[in-house]
């Protein structure tokens, strides 16, 4: 196993990202943690502009649209520094997934969508989950039937984050009922087309994901909007999830780290039985243990990103990082809540919001069982 360390450029980028987050993202971050999806979406617009100005919305997009290349570890650095300050600001995570999917489409489709997405005038949703297809992503029931130069799509994506506020979505559909996972295709679907209805979905956390349900009733989409060609949809879902999993792992760790910082500040301030509670090892050791687990998991995340940069397989480590990060983050936030006492149990307290968010990430991008299934298959075989 090769050793991993940050380059000088990556360390410099960390300083730059930290400065940016402190100046641009810190103001209002605690207030934004308490907002509902639509209010939060509006509050994010000025911050999106800042992300566009600094050039992070165009990272790894084609040069033709103003994009510039960057390695995965550097993206992790930007993501982490910003998510520590405001986990709801989309910096460099989702756009990488969008770029990879949009790049598979004809040039005129890219010309239409890349500039809008890079300017953050709209969002892109990604939907593979349905009533009958979640962990079993190949069991897609939404149908796409060829009709001349188009496909007619009928079905429902539930849940599909962002659909309420997005102008376009990549959705998996069944193009061949007999071909199993090879009969799944992925389509780039503009969400203003006739036959599409979208409704909000009440969720206990992660309002920044704008949870939604999207129904498709005889929606006509050009065949050229099929991403990567017919029958490639399952691979598109898997590849997209691999990237999103490491980003999810980092975002969970950032929420846990912020909770530890809150717990440390409180442990120094709160006097119980005549002394600050940090003087009790029952409190300080909890902080020490969780800080250690978070740091170890963080290094695993960077190892995943480094493997990606080296062009090496990283699926196993990615699932390890996603599963472990959610586990250690939930435990850390839960124990920090206990240190913070009853005020942290208020639904308005940032720590309780962080816990609700991280609990959602158990399922988002694949459940713990699915991560363990991937790890076991890679280690033991099918």
Ligand X SMILES: Cc1cc2nc3c(=O)[nH]c(=O)nc-3n(C[C@H](O)[C@H](O)[C@H](O)COP(=O)(O)OP(=O)(O)OC[C@H]3O[C@@H](n4cnc5c(N)ncnc54)[C@H](O)[C@@H]3O)c2cc1C
Backbone φ/ψ region at 365: left (φ over 0), alpha (ψ -120 to 50), beta: left
Cβ proximity to ligand X: between 233 and 360 the closer is 360
Tell me the CB-side half-sphere exposure of residue 93, using CA atoms within 13 A. 22
| Of 76 and 127, CB closest to ligand X | 127
Contact between 367 and ligand X by CB under 6 A: the answer reads yes
Provide the pairing of β-strand 124-127 with 168-174: parallel
Q: Judged by CB under 6 A, does residue 155 bind ligand X? A: no
For 76, 164, 203, 225, the CA distances from 207, given in Å and listed in that order, are 22, 12, 7, 29
Closest CB 82 distance from ligand X, rounded Å: 19
DSSP one-letter code for 127: E
Please tell me the distance from the alpha carbon of residue 117 to that of residue 104, in angstroms, as a whole number.
16
Q: Which residue lies nearer to ligand X by CB, 47 or 237?
A: 237
Q: What is the 3-class SS of 105-124, one letter each residue?
A: CCHHHHHHHHHHHHCCCCCE
Per CB under 6 A, 325 contacts ligand X: no
Say how many residues touch ligand X, by CB under 6 A: 20
Contact residue for ligand X among 55, 369, 376, 377 (CB under 6 A)? 369
Determine which residue in the list 128, 151, 234, 266 makes contact with ligand X, applying CB under 6 A. Answer: 128
| Closer residue to ligand X, CB minimum distance, 267 or 324 | 324
Answer yes or no whether residue 195 interacts with ligand X by CB under 6 A.
no
Evaluate the CA torsion angle 275, 277, 282, 288 in order and state its sign: negative
Q: Which of residues 63-122 bind ligand X (CB under 6 A)?
A: none
Residue 133 or 344: the one with the smaller Cβ distance to ligand X is 133
Nearer to ligand X, 252 or 300 (CB): 252
Query: Alpha helix (H) ranges present in the chain?
Result: 8-20, 29-32, 37-54, 72-85, 94-102, 107-118, 233-269, 281-309, 315-340, 350-361, 368-380
Q: Rule CB under 6 A: say whether 251 interacts with ligand X.
A: no
- Among 129-137, 193-201, 250-258, 332-340, the segment contacting ligand X (CB under 6 A): 129-137
- Per CB under 6 A, residues contacting ligand X are 126-129, 134-135, 159-161, 206, 209, 360-361, 363-364, 366-367, 369-370, 373
């Amino acid at each position: 196993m090769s050793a991993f360390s940050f380059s000088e450029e990556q360390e410099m980028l960390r300083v730059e990202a930290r400065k940016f987050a402190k100046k641009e993202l810190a103001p209002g971050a605690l207030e934004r943690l308490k907002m509902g999806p639509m209010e939060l979406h509006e509050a994010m617009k000025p911050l999106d502009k800042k992300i566009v100005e600094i050039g992070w919305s165009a990272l790894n997009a084609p040069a033709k649209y103003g994009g510039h290349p960057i390695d995965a570890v550097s993206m992790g650095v930007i993501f982490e520094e910003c998510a520590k300050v405001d986990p709801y600001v989309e910096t460099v995570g989702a756009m990488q997934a969008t770029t990879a999917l949009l790049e598979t489409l004809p040039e005129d489709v890219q010309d239409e969508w890349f500039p809008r997405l890079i300017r953050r005038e709209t969002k892109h949703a990604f939907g593979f989950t349905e009533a009958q297809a979640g962990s079993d992503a190949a069991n897609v029931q939404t149908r796409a039937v060829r009709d001349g130069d188009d496909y007619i799509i009928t079905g429902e994506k539930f849940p599909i984050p962002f659909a309420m506020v997005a102008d376009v979505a990549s959705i998996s559909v069944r193009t061949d009922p007999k071909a199993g996972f090879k009969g799944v295709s992925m389509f780039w679907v503009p969400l203003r087309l006739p036959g599409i209805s979208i409704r909000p979905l009440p969720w206990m956390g992660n309002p920044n994901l704008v949870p939604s349900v999207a129904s498709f009733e005889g929606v006509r989409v050009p065949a050229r909007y099929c991403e990567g060609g017919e029958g490639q949809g399952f691979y598109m879902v898997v590849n997209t999830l691999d990237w999103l999993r490491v980003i999810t792992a980092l975002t969970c760790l950032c929420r846990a780290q912020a909770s530890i910082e809150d717990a440390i500040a409180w442990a120094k301030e709160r006097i119980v039985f005549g002394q600050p509670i940090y003087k009790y090892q029952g409190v300080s050791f909890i902080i020490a243990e969780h800080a250690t687990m978070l740091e170890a998991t963080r290094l695993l995340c960077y190892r995943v990103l480094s493997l990606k940069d080296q062009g090496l397989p990283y699926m196993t480590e990615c699932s390890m990082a996603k599963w472990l990060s959610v586990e250690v983050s939930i435990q850390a936030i839960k124990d920090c809540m206990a240190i913070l006492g009853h005020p942290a149990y208020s639904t308005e307290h940032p720590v309780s919001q962080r816990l609700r968010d991280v609990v959602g990430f158990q399922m988002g991008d694949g459940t713990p069982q699915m991560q363990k299934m991937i790890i076991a298959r890679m280690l033991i075989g099918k």
